[in-house]
Homo-oligomer: A and B are copies of this chain.
Amino acid sequence: MRYCHTGTLAFFVLLLLCLRPLAQSDPLPSWADGPVKRAIIELVNATTDKASPDFVPPGARVATFDQDGTTWVSHPMYTQVVYCLERVPELVKAKPELKAVEPFKTVLSGNRDAIEKLSTKDLLRILAATLSGLTVDEFKAEVANWIATAKHPRWDRLYTELTYQPMLEVMQYLRANGYKTYIVTGGSQDFVRAYSERVYGIGPEQVVGTVAGIKYGYDKTGKPILTREPKLLLNDNNAGKPEGIHMMIGRRPVIAFGNSTGDRQMLEYTKAGNGARLAMLVLHDDAKREYAYGPALGLPGTKVGTFTQALYDEAKKDGWMIISMKNDWKRIFAFEQ
């Protein structure tokens, strides 16, 4: 027998290569041990084990993530709003008649206080004007260029560096277990698509967002083009989230992550499904490493990402889990050591 170690050695090497590793390292190293981390791992085990009563076939393993405040920083302003404000000078160059018209005039003044006081209606007008008019390819290129250099003032780092490391780990962990991961954002679908593959590993077909009217037509040379119109087809906020999920995915999420009242209906809809389901709410309670806001916990209120008392009460009543950034996340950003 001793003459054949080459054969037997090769046999065992191949056997090892063919088998999946039995011992697994911690899939969620940035998460502190605790009920939230345990709940995620238990859900994955329960839905992927064929012998479990909560087994979910691979095709139906759907995980949805809100973006702003859930997978990256959304303070003091949504990144997309920063983009839209910064696009106003270019817009005015193309349409000089807007120069003297509010709210564009205020934006051009550069007066931070006045800009921060703009009403939601004014902001929506700026969004509609700056997010439309281009072809889908032009828009994608422009957002990709902007996001490659735009930085957050507090950290002086790219916005894409301000994604939450624990959430990136959850996405990878879920995908490694046969889940399809989706971004379900109130932000513009095409805005997020411009970087989602690189930043989250999530392709454009798995980004559900607020949808602008898209118009098919032809350019001067007769080439087909798709142009973004200043029209709202789906407002992917509040009730629009489960509605958008049905339209784009056609399956109910098994696990969903949010952080504000805009995610309420998505979390309700997720939790109302049969079998094991998880609805998760990120609580911004870490003023030192990130921000602290949310009237529910006696923290200050904020214009964006509202975590109200009613939302907190519903979470408790309906069995959603609260993710405390302070206690559940050992590390928030990849650049932290």
Listed in ascending order, the chain A residues whose CB lies under 8 Å from chain B are 1, 3-4, 7-8, 10-11, 14-15, 17-18, 59, 136, 180, 189-190, 193, 197, 203-205, 207, 211, 214-217, 223-224, 226, 233-234, 239-240, 242-243, 246-251, 265, 268-269, 272
Contact = CB atoms under 8 A, between A and B. Distances in A.
6 tightest A-B contacts by CB?
A204-B250, A4-B4, A216-B239, A7-B8, A11-B11, A14-B14
A76 B273 CA distance: 40
A188 B214 CA distance: 20
Given A18-B17, A265-B224, A205 B4 contact: no
A93 to B, nearest CB: 27
A11 B7 contact: yes
18 contacts: A3-B3, A4-B8, A7-B8, A14-B15, A14-B18, A18-B18, A59-B197, A189-B247, A203-B250, A204-B249, A204-B250, A207-B250, A211-B247, A214-B246, A214-B247, A224-B242, A224-B268, A233-B234
A64 to B, nearest CB: 12
A215 B265 CA distance: 12
Contacts of A205: 180, 205, 248-251
Contacts of A269: 216, 224, 226
A136 B246 contact: yes
Nearest to A271: B224
Contacts of A8: 4, 7, 11
Given A4-B8, A14-B15, A249-B204, A214 B190 contact: no
A271 B256 CA distance: 38
Contacts of A239: 215-217
Contacts of A243: 214-216, 226
Nearest to A269: B224
A214 B250 CA distance: 11
Contacts of A242: 216, 224, 226
